[in-house]
Amino acid sequence: MRRLRHLRAEGNRIVCEGREMVNLSSNDYMGIGADPVLWNEFLSSADRNEFGGGSCSSRLLTGNHPAYASLEKRLAVLYGAESALVFDSGWHANVGLLPALTSSKDLILADKLVHASIIDGIRLSDAECIRYPHGNLERLETLLEKRREDYDNVFIVTESVFSMDGDCADLRRLAELKRKYGAFLYVDEAHAFGVRGKRGLGLAEEQGVIAEIDFLVGTFGKAAASQGAFAVTDDVFREYLVNTMRPLIFSTSLPPVSVRWTEFVVERLTGMESSRRHLERLGERLRERLTTAGLETAGKSQIVPLIVRDNRKAIALSEYLCENGFFVLPIRRPTVPPGGERLRISLTASLTEIQIETLSELCARIGR
């Protein structure tokens, strides 16, 4: 059974039930959440009289604080887009966008491994859905060839960096298919925003296809160490979503201090290129060491799975690593299917190469 643990974060370390460990289960990819200097800089530069308490209302009533407009304008400029729209969380975004955008006359073609929030959004929509095998773009094109003419609109839906395998979508090829078959392309950059691309705008920036994506979704709760999410799109769709997207219409808006902190971080993320390169090297090194030790891993990102394919073994290995100073939790069903049990090692730019070497040695010692 899963349980809620008593935790306290201290920099890139975590204290769990009295035991202090290196935190490898957080999504604080850029180490911003572990950086008190940035937080203190924010507090010293902010106008605290502007913050108040909570917003106490949805954005359509009295909760649309000026901080929203400032953040959305900054995002639109960064992405070279007409508009951006900020939501309460990545879950709110994914569970609300597709139901608002689609009808019973539309088709959603989604990668088999998209996040649970996207799956729930699909279930709430009236559209038909087919989930193609993970990363199998040949199968996706076959579906487009056979089914495109049967629907008013087709939405191709994918993550960019997948949260459990740490692998990356071929966004260039997806953009080609989108153009060829007149579809919409919806990309969730939750695990790539802040981490990939020269300015940290995600895998779409890295692969040079930002302009090809109709709905680019990102979250602030991971690399940006804040809360909330956003979608980058055009003016028409933004206005449409403001009038139809239920999680936006009926949710209390974020506290203004949170939105201001997000913009403060976004300004600085664009200049963290050296930290992104360091994080990339850590991921490459850890995968290399695990593979050399005969262990199974996957992906090509800051998310490094150690795949053990056994529930008890995943739990035992997690406990062993925790006992030796590394907080890494087991991933089990229903998050992954039976036989996909693993440890999900979530790296952060605040880690050192020495810590990666120590972790590798521990995994190799009992991982087999």
Among residues 28, 159, 165, 206, the one annotated as catalytic is: 159
The residue out of 240, 269, 298 marking a domain boundary is: 269
Burial class (CB in 10 A: 0-12, 13-18, 19+), 335: middle
Pairing of strands 215-219, 330-331: unpaired
The residue out of 216, 246, 269 marking a domain boundary is: 269
Establish if 38 belongs to a structural domain. Answer: no
| Co-location of 262 and 307 in the same domain | no
Q: Which residues pair with 106 in a beta bridge?
A: 153
Q: What is the mean pLDDT of residues 169-174?
A: 98
Residues whose CB is less than 8 angstroms from the CB of residue 315 and which lie 6 or more positions away in sequence, other chains included = 330, 332
| Co-location of 246 and 362 in the same domain | no
**pLDDT of 299:** 96
Provide the whole-model pTM.
Answer: 0.95
**pLDDT of 367:** 60
Establish if 42 belongs to a structural domain. Answer: no
Establish if 39 belongs to a structural domain. Answer: no
Establish if 1 belongs to a structural domain. Answer: no
| Co-location of 264 and 138 in the same domain | yes
| Co-location of 25 and 65 in the same domain | no
Q: What is the pLDDT of residues 314-356, one digit of tens each?
A: 999 999 999 999 999 999 888 888 899 999 999 999 999 999 9
Report the 3 state secondary structure along 239-301. HHHHHHCHHHHHCECCCHHHHHHHHHHHHHHCCCHHHHHHHHHHHHHHHHHHHHCCCECCCCC
Pairing of strands 215-219, 184-188: parallel
- Residue 323 catalytic? no
| Co-location of 222 and 306 in the same domain | no
**pLDDT of 199:** 97
Among residues 23, 25, 27, 346, the one annotated as catalytic is: 27
Domain with residue 264: its CATH number is: 3.40.640.10
| Co-location of 68 and 211 in the same domain | yes
| Co-location of 258 and 288 in the same domain | no
Supply 99's token pair.
């139901």
Q: What is the pLDDT of residues 280-300, one digit of tens each?
A: 999 999 999 999 999 999 999
Q: Looking at the predicted structure, is the pLDDT value of residue 12 above 70?
A: yes
Establish if 45 belongs to a structural domain. Answer: no
| Co-location of 316 and 205 in the same domain | no
Establish if 330 belongs to a structural domain. Answer: yes
Domain with residue 352: its CATH number is: 3.90.1150.10
Q: What is the pLDDT of residues 222-279, one digit of tens each?
A: 999 999 999 999 999 999 999 999 999 999 999 999 999 999 999 999 999 999 999 9
Q: What is the pLDDT of residues 175-213, one digit of tens each?
A: 999 999 999 999 999 999 999 999 999 999 999 999 999
| Co-location of 213 and 354 in the same domain | no
Residues whose CB is less than 8 angstroms from the CB of residue 60 and which lie 6 or more positions away in sequence, other chains included = 242, 248, 249
Among residues 72, 165, 188, 263, the one annotated as catalytic is: 188
- Residue 106 catalytic? no
| Co-location of 287 and 307 in the same domain | yes
Among residues 65, 92, 178, 191, the one annotated as catalytic is: 191
- Residue 167 catalytic? no
Establish if 41 belongs to a structural domain. Answer: no
- Residue 188 catalytic? yes
Q: pLDDT-derived band of residue 368, with 50, 70 and 90 as boundaries? A: low
Among residues 163, 253, 301, 350, the one annotated as catalytic is: 163
Distance from C-alpha of 315 to C-alpha of 330, rounded to nearest angstrom: 6
Q: How many domains does the chain have?
A: 2
| Co-location of 282 and 244 in the same domain | no
- Beta strand spans in 24-111 (E): 83-87, 106-111
What single DSSP character describes residue 91? H
Q: pLDDT-derived band of residue 10, with 50, 70 and 90 as boundaries? A: confident
| Co-location of 203 and 287 in the same domain | no
Q: pLDDT-derived band of residue 130, with 50, 70 and 90 as boundaries? A: very high
Element (H, E) at 318: helix 311-323
- Residue 159 catalytic? yes
Establish if 174 belongs to a structural domain. Answer: yes
- Going by C-alpha positions, the residue among 267, 254, 268 that lies closest to residue 57 is 254
Range of the domain at 123: 50-269
Q: What is the pLDDT of residues 146-165, one digit of tens each?
A: 999 999 999 999 999 999 99
Q: Looking at the predicted structure, is the pLDDT value of residue 53 above 80?
A: no
The residue out of 253, 269, 285 marking a domain boundary is: 269
Q: How many CB atoms lie under 10 A from the CB of residue 314?
A: 23
Q: pLDDT-derived band of residue 7, with 50, 70 and 90 as boundaries? A: confident
Q: What is the pLDDT of residues 63-100, one digit of tens each?
A: 999 999 999 999 999 999 999 999 999 999 999 999 99
